[in-house]
């Protein structure tokens, strides 16, 4: 009897235990929703131009022309001229205080002459961008910022050769030749 008891104990002791995974709770963390509540449609707040911004390029560039036409008219003034730039570049619209380029109904480029020459930090703020950036390329006629804030290129044209002040800002959301 002791031998059979010993043999039974060996078989029971050698039987592998059920696998246990640590860290998994016994109750589920997320339960299925009982009733799905109807989702409220997103109500977008109306656009308000920042107070210290001359032209909010960061908001306007990259948008469909139909959706920002009133904002462009408010910030750039009256439309003066339109010219066709071809199939690849779209069309250019000249306004009183700047010009835009539109391709497939989307504003992809804006050029804004500033009221007066100003330093790079001020020029960025006047066009709706943060004042500081780390990757600025410096050329004799311009400063250039590539691939920042979801924009392909920001060109800050100097007021004079090798001057530190900026007289015009050109901004491309994307370059048409890179998209074709």
pLDDT given for residue 14 in this prediction: 63
User: Is residue 115 domain-resident?
Assistant: yes
pLDDT tens, residue by residue, 26-78 = 777 777 666 666 677 777 788 888 888 899 999 999 999 999 999 999 999 99
User: Is residue 153 domain-resident?
Assistant: yes
Q: What are phi and psi of 70, to 5 degrees?
A: -65, -40
Identify whether the C-beta of residue 169 lies closer than 8 Å to the C-beta of residue 111.
Answer: yes
User: Is residue 46 domain-resident?
Assistant: no
User: Is residue 62 domain-resident?
Assistant: yes
pLDDT given for residue 19 in this prediction: 66
pLDDT tens, residue by residue, 52-66 = 889 999 999 999 999
Cα–chain-centroid distance for residue 159?
A: 28
User: Is residue 51 domain-resident?
Assistant: no
Taking the C-alpha atoms of residue 161 and residue 107, their distance in angstroms, rounded to an integer, is: 30
Q: Which residues contact 129 (CB under 8 A, 6 or more apart)?
A: 57, 58, 149, 154
Query: How many residues make up the chain in this entry?
Result: 180
User: Is residue 16 domain-resident?
Assistant: no
pTM given for the model: 0.71
pLDDT at 149 over 80: yes
pLDDT given for residue 152 in this prediction: 93
The boundaries of the domain holding residue 175 are 57-179
Identify whether the C-beta of residue 77 lies closer than 8 Å to the C-beta of residue 97.
Answer: yes
Q: Give the total number of structural domains in the chain.
A: 1
pLDDT at 158 over 90: yes
User: Is residue 140 domain-resident?
Assistant: yes
User: Is residue 50 domain-resident?
Assistant: no
pLDDT given for residue 71 in this prediction: 92
Q: Which residues contact 141 (CB under 8 A, 6 or more apart)?
A: 157, 158, 161
């Amino acid at each position: 009897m002791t031998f059979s008891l010993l043999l039974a104990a060996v078989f029971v002791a050698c039987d592998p235990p059920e696998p246990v995974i640590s860290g998994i709770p016994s109750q589920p963390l997320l339960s299925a929703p009982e009733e799905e509540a109807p989702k409220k449609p997103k109500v977008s707040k109306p656009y308000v131009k920042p107070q210290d911004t001359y032209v909010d390029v960061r908001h306007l560039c990259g948008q469909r022309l139909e959706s920002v036409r009133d904002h462009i008219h408010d910030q750039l003034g009256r439309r003066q001229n339109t010219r066709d730039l071809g199939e690849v570049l779209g069309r250019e619209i000249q306004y009183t205080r700047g010009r835009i380029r539109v391709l497939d109904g989307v504003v992809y480029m804006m050029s804004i002459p500033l009221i007066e020459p100003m330093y790079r930090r001020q020029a960025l703020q006047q066009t709706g961008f943060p004042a500081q950036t780390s990757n600025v390329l410096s050329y004799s006629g311009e400063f250039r910022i590539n691939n920042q804030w979801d924009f392909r290129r920001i060109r800050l044209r100097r007021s004079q050769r090798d001057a530190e002040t900026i007289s015009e800002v050109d901004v491309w959301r994307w370059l048409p030749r890179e998209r074709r």
